[in-house]
Amino acid sequence: MAIEMFDLAGGDEALRFSPYCWRTRMALAHKGLDVATVPVRFGEKHKIEFSGQKLVPVIRDGDKTVSDSWAIAEYLDSAYADRPALFPAGSKALTSFVRHWTQTRLSLPLMRVMLMDIYETIDPADRDYFRTSREQRFGKKLEEMMAPEEGRTAFNAELAPAREVLKEAPFLNGDAPAFADYCLFGIFMFARGVSPRARTLLDATDTVYAWRERMLDLHNGLARNAPGKGA
Amino acid sequence: MAIEMFDLAGGDEALRFSPYCWRTRMALAHKGLDVATVPVRFGEKHKIEFSGQKLVPVIRDGDKTVSDSWAIAEYLDSAYADRPALFPAGSKALTSFVRHWTQTRLSLPLMRVMLMDIYETIDPADRDYFRTSREQRFGKKLEEMMAPEEGRTAFNAELAPAREVLKEAPFLNGDAPAFADYCLFGIFMFARGVSPRARTLLDATDTVYAWRERMLDLHNGLARNAPGKGA
């Protein structure tokens, strides 16, 4: 039976743009596991009430429920140990470094590029919740957070370590992708999901650009074939 | 016979403050190898002419010469494969990520805190060379690069991914230190070598602070016992 995955959805239910859900989607494909996704809009948290918390992604594998993209990856490596590893032996702490780097250094500059694009992507019924929660978090109006040029410049500056590694190896993990790659890739799938600006986020000569192309092609083009405003 | 290591020295020959040399010094200790360091001031490049290039660190192990801290670590793992690994299996690309992160994101904010401290640490005879080469690189007078408070704030912001990983594990590499840890630690040993400001670079409640203490204690306190202006 396919694993159920509860996945953040936009006003157009086909648009899936959560960076954390994309980590999980790619992780399931990496493991070669069948998946049936269940769209969850911001206003549909009741769909994941059974998980005992309020955030996607959540997976249900038979009678096992796991939430949080990192915990899901750990579960998959443990439950499906005979399939390609998401955390190759001895690499978990360094993978976590890349995870935290994406969350602490890349998210904010990207918000400055495309916060209003998210607002327009989500279901109209979700917009008040989104505006109130984000304006509280940032201490500013959504519109005041926007500074696309500065955001793009800062985002590209922060990508420097990935840019250098990708001059040495095809993937952040080395010769083959692993969860570290999916952590960064989630950021780009978020951008691709919500914004036409995703197309111009990177220079075409950037090693990160070439890597993103390789990531889009993985697992039979799973990510490339996903609907997105920046596709 | 001990491995010879050519190590950047200050006006006071006991001050060793190159972040790259500290990576190598710690790597040799990690491997449990005997080392005899040879001090090299900026103006003493003739001492490493035999290596065919102009940068320290350089090691000479019998009739083998290796330069560049990364290449030296690779050499040590290959030549002394039975000793604790600097790159645990499968972790080399992710270790390189941490390496490039320290070089692309941490060096510049730190320069803003202590560039003049370097100037005062190096041999008076080296100061003209240092000033000319750095002012050319930065396109500014040394004095204009200095902005200690802004530099400290930016440096601490960039440390965020390390801070998060060190909430989960004692070392960047996980349960035990490896070359990724030495890459970051080199930055702190540089600070400690040249500047009294090194003591206040981190808040004492920071997980990175506690990690630095652990690193100082490694290998019988090798780093803690080294002379430094911020010791």
Residue in chain B closest to A95 (alpha carbons) equals: B94
Same domain, B117 and B172: yes
Pick from B89, B95, B104: CB nearest A94: B95
Whether residue A27 lies inside any domain: the answer is yes
Number of domains in chain B: 2
> Helices B179-194 and B19-30 sit at what angle, rounded to 10 degrees?
130
pTM of the model: 0.96
Q: Do the Cβ atoms of A94 and B98 come within 8 Å?
A: yes
**Span B183-204, average pLDDT:** 96
Looking at residue A191, its pLDDT comes to 97
**Rg, chain A, Cα only:** 17
CB contact (8 A) between residue A93 and residue B161? no
Nearest chain A Cα distance for residue B197, angstroms: 25
Kindly indicate the confidence band of residue A3, based on its pLDDT and cuts at 50, 70 and 90: very high
Q: Which amino acid is at B147?
A: A
Q: What is the mean pLDDT of residues B118-134?
A: 93
Same domain, B41 and B13: yes
Residue that finishes a domain, picked among A16, A45, A79 = A79
Is A109 found in the same domain as A67? no
Among the partner-chain residues B88, B105, B164, the one whose CB lies closest to the CB of A161 is B105
pLDDT tens digits, A150-184: 999 999 999 999 999 999 999 999 999 999 999 99
Closest Cβ–Cβ partner in A91, A100, A173 for B161: A100
* String of DSSP letters for B77-139: HHHTTTSPPSS-TT-HHHHHHHHHHIIIIIHHHHHHHHHHHHHHHS-GGGHHHHHHHHHHHHT
Q: Are A94 and B173 within 8 A, CB to CB?
A: yes
- Whether B139 maps to a domain, the answer reads yes
Interface contact flag, B97 A180, Cβ < 8 Å = yes
**Percent of chain A's residues with pLDDT above 70:** 100
- A89 and B89 within 8 Å at the Cβ level: the answer is yes
Q: Quick one: B48 and B112 in the same domain?
A: no
**In contact, A105 and B161? CB cutoff 8 Å:** yes
Task: Walk across the sheet containing B64-67 and list its strands.
Answer: B35-40, B3-8, B58-61, B64-67
Q: In CATH, what number is assigned to the domain containing residue A179? A: 1.20.1050.10
Work out the average pLDDT over B112-130: 94
Contact residues on chain A for B101, CB-CB shorter than 8 A: 101, 160-161
Residues B110, B202 share a domain: yes
Q: What is the mean pLDDT of residues B171-190?
A: 98
Nearest to A85 by CA among A74, A101, A96: A74
Pair (A118, A210) in one structural domain: yes
pLDDT at B115: 94
CB-hemisphere CA count at 13 Å for B144?
Answer: 8
Residue A31 or A43, more confident: A31
Among partner residues B96, B161, B169, which is closest to A101 by beta-carbon distance? B161
**CB–CB contacts below 8 A, A to B:** 99
Q: For residue B231, what pLDDT is reported?
A: 81
ipTM entry: 0.95
Residue A231's pLDDT is 81
Given A29, A44, A79, which residue is the final one in a domain? A79
Residues from chain B contacting residue A88 (CB–CB below 8 Å) = 89-91
Nearest CA in chain A to B87: A90
By three-state DSSP, how is residue A180 classified? helix
Q: Check CB contact under 8 Å for A169 and B93.
A: yes
A229 located within any domain: no
pLDDT of residue B67: 98
Q: Which of B90, B100, B158 faces A90 most closely, judged by CB atoms?
A: B90
Domain span at residue A194 reads 92-221
pLDDT at B48 over 90: yes
- A142 belongs to a structural domain: yes
**B192 and B106 share one domain:** yes
Do residues A53 and A107 share a domain? no
In whole angstroms, what is the distance from residue A230 CA to residue A198 CA? Answer: 5
Please tell me which of the candidates A100, A164, A180 has its beta carbon nearest to residue B94: A180
Same domain, A64 and A140: no
* pLDDT for A1: 82
Instruction: Answer yes or no: is A10 within a domain.
Output: yes
Identify all chain B residues contacting A89, using CB atoms and an 8 Å cutoff.
88-90
The verdict on a CB contact (< 8 Å) between B97 and A94 is yes
- What are residue A38's DSSP bridge partners? A6
Q: Are residues B65 and B119 in the same domain?
A: no
Candidates B86, B94, B179, B207: best to mutate against A (most CBs of A within 10 A) is B94
pLDDT of B6 reads: 98
Contact yes or no for A212/A181 (Cβ under 8 A): no
Last residue of a domain, one of A79, A110, A128: A79
Within-domain flag for B170: yes
Domain shared by B110 and B207, yes or no: yes
* A206/A118 same-domain check: yes
Q: What is the CATH number of the domain that holds B40?
A: 3.40.30.10
Q: What is the mean pLDDT of residues A127-131?
A: 94
- The two beta strands, B35-40 and B3-8, are parallel
Q: Give the closest-approach CA distance of A103 to chain B in angstroms.
A: 8
Which element (helix H / strand E) includes A216?
A: helix A207-221
- Give B-chain residues touching A162 at CB under 8 angstroms: 97
